Structure 1
Amino acid sequence: MPTVAPIDVDGFVVRAGFLNDSPFFALGDGSICFAEGGEHRVQMHKGGLLAVEMTLDGKALVTAGDDGLIQKVTPGCEIVTLAERPRKWIDLLACGPNDSVGFASGRTAWVRFADGKEKEFAHERAVGGLAFAPKGMKLAVARYDGATIWWANADAAPQEMTWKGAHLGIGFSPDGKYLFTSMQENALHGWRLSDDQDMRMTGYPSKVKSWSWSYKGRYLATSGAAAAICWPFFGKTGPMGQSPLQLGTRGDTIVSSVACHPKEDVIAVGYLDGMIMLCRFEDNAEVLLRRPGNGPVSSISWDSMGERIAFGSEVGEAGIIALK
């Protein structure tokens, strides 16, 4: 039976996860709680913490806040300032290859390279999201009326993807063949990059704020509905012409956070009422991991072996669920 070990945090959990398989909880007050071998905290920002991402090697966290700082921290609480934009709110981050970091504020995005050099990318409207491609030094930027893919380490012309509306979060498929965005309206939009073919993923009752790729990248699992909506991305047309799977359906609440298992076709689903469910793609078998709490689940993550789940909520509830 799964067991839940509560972690004493105070405030909105921006992200819960594992760093070198050690659990951490990044909090809205600007601090990070490391929970391995006794809880200890490190203050990353004087004001609020607005964004946090894990480096690709899984050995450090990069954070940004309303103090204009972009910082990196290890489980040993060693803090390095990567960049600073005084009087700007840095609310968008992405970690890329070779220790590169993308960050944005307003209409401008930057890429900081490992040697400390930076490159700036200006846009006509506010940046809504950032993501690095899985291959190559390419940065995708969500913006109004579409997305732009920049070559971060070259002066080549960017690739422009167009679709009317406000595009917020953004991501690539693990194989790099597709780009998708979450939109201000209750929908996702995608492009097949080989020919710019549009892909519409609609029907959500609320905005999509969380997504996760299934093991081997066959499905894109998303929040924003009464079930985890999992769009199929196998085949030549991606999700077009195929119906999504609906896992963990409930009639009285909405899915707020999703996290796919790193080695199996299984997903952890968090809801607005604080419940967490484990669901299997093959037959939608369900296991209750956590009963409803006091507020929405804001973040869920697996450890590298798929044996533990770190979770946090908007009201300061947090913990580690052990499956074995």
Structure 2
Amino acid sequence: MPTLAPFDLEGHCLLTCFVNDIPFFVMADGTVHWQDNGHQQVTAHDGILCATLSFDGKNILTGGEDGRICRIDASGKVTEIAHQPRKWITTIASGPHGMVAFGSGRIAWVLGSDGKLQEFAQERSVEGIACAPKGQRIAIARYNGADLIWTGTAAKPVDLDWKGAHIDATFSPDGRFLVTSMQENALHGWRLEDNRHMRMTGYPAKIKSWSWSVKGKWLATSGASAAIVWPFASKDGPMGKAPLELGMRGDTMVTSVCCHPSEDIVAIGYQDGMIMVVRFADSKEVLLRRPGKSAISSMGWDKAGHRLSFGSENGDCGLIDITT
């Protein structure tokens, strides 16, 4: 039976993840907490608006209301890596070789491993940003589509148009697909070899959480009363295929998903604070946590896939060991 260690904090947990096998919890109030020989914490910003685990898994990257972009290592050391005065940094992404992309208003920036900062002015607000898995390219989610930009070159951006408000973006791990989440309770995707459209609709709520499976064959998403898991193994991706519906509950919505680092299973967090893990192959379910105080907002596995950290909208956080 899994064991659960509660970690009660105050406020909204934006991100939880493991850095060097240490569980971290990034809070909207600007504090970062971690468990390493007891409860540790540091204040990184006046307020944090976005956070992500670095591409190599060795740091957390944060953007704040203070215009600062920071890197936080496994010891909790906070290093400012960029600063845009009087800007709210609302989206951030990490790529290979230390690449960091972030956005505010109608401007996106890319910070390279050499410390060089590139600025990309946009016609519309930068709603979401993603780095391609091989680097050199970013995607910007915006109103009426997305833009693909080759960094370090003068090449013209590629416009991927689709009507509606696109609010976040993610590349498939093999770089063949780009998927955006939309204000209209849907996903939209493009097969990048020919920019063919992929429509993924039918959600009753906005998709606020997604997670690629270990080999990128599946994309798990929130936004329904089950985790909606789209197949991406074939060259056509999910086109013409029905998704899996895992962990169905009729009385509450899925608010967070997190795929296992080595197995085709997914942790599913719900609006009432409950957490289950479900296997793709046969939909077998294991309860990890009974309902809590608030909706699960983020989850993260350690490298071995033995421990799962979770955070909630009201600071109801913790750590689950699935091996005991």
Fold similarity call, TM over 0.5: yes
The CA distance in 2 between the partners of 1:79 and 1:300, in whole Å, is: 22
Shift of 1:264: 0.5
The farther-off stretch of 71-80 and 290-299 is: 71-80
Superposition misfits of 4+ residues, deviation over 6 angstroms: none
Q: Could you say which residue in structure 1 is the equivalent of 2:96?
A: 97
What SS does the aligned partner of 2:315 have? coil
| Amino acid in structure 2 at the alignment position of 1:168 | I
Q: Could you say which residue in structure 2 is the equivalent of 1:13?
A: 13
Q: Could you say which residue in structure 2 is the equivalent of 1:306?
A: 305
The CA distance in 2 between the partners of 1:96 and 1:70, in whole Å, is: 15
Shift of 1:115: 2.6
1:24 equivalenced with 2:17 (yes/no): no
What SS does the aligned partner of 1:229 have? strand
The CA distance in 2 between the partners of 1:216 and 1:76, in whole Å, is: 30
| Amino acid in structure 2 at the alignment position of 1:37 | N
The farther-off stretch of 314-323 and 88-97 is: 88-97
What SS does the aligned partner of 1:90 have? coil
What SS does the aligned partner of 1:98 have? helix
Shift of 1:136: 3.3
1:167 equivalenced with 2:184 (yes/no): no
Shift of 1:8: 2.8
CA contact (8 A) 2:59 2:74 kept: yes
Matches within 5 A, 1:283-298: 283-298=282-297
Shift of 1:113: 1.6
CA contact (8 A) 2:129 2:139 kept: yes
CA contact (8 A) 2:210 2:220 kept: yes
Q: Could you say which residue in structure 2 is the equivalent of 1:204?
A: 203
What SS does the aligned partner of 1:71 have? strand
TM-score, structure 1 normalization: 0.98
The CA distance in 1 between the partners of 2:156 and 2:259, in whole Å, is: 35
CA contact (8 A) 2:95 2:135 kept: no
| Amino acid in structure 1 at the alignment position of 2:15 | R
Matches within 5 A, 1:1-324: 1-46=1-46, 48-324=47-323
CA contact (8 A) 2:257 2:269 kept: yes
CA contact (8 A) 1:7 1:35 kept: no
Shift of 1:34: 1.2
What SS does the aligned partner of 1:257 have? strand
What SS does the aligned partner of 1:310 have? strand
The CA distance in 1 between the partners of 2:247 and 2:53, in whole Å, is: 28
The CA distance in 2 between the partners of 1:198 and 1:56, in whole Å, is: 27
The unaligned stretches of length 5 or more in structure 1 are none
CA contact (8 A) 2:169 2:180 kept: yes
The CA distance in 2 between the partners of 1:136 and 1:53, in whole Å, is: 16
The CA distance in 1 between the partners of 2:37 and 2:153, in whole Å, is: 45
CA contact (8 A) 2:99 2:112 kept: yes
Shift of 1:103: 0.8
Structure 1 residues 101-145: Cα deviation after superposition (integer angstroms, max 9, x where no partner): 111000110001223221111111111110000113101111111
The unaligned stretches of length 5 or more in structure 2 are none
| Amino acid in structure 2 at the alignment position of 1:149 | L
Identity %: 54
**Count of residues paired in the alignment:** 323
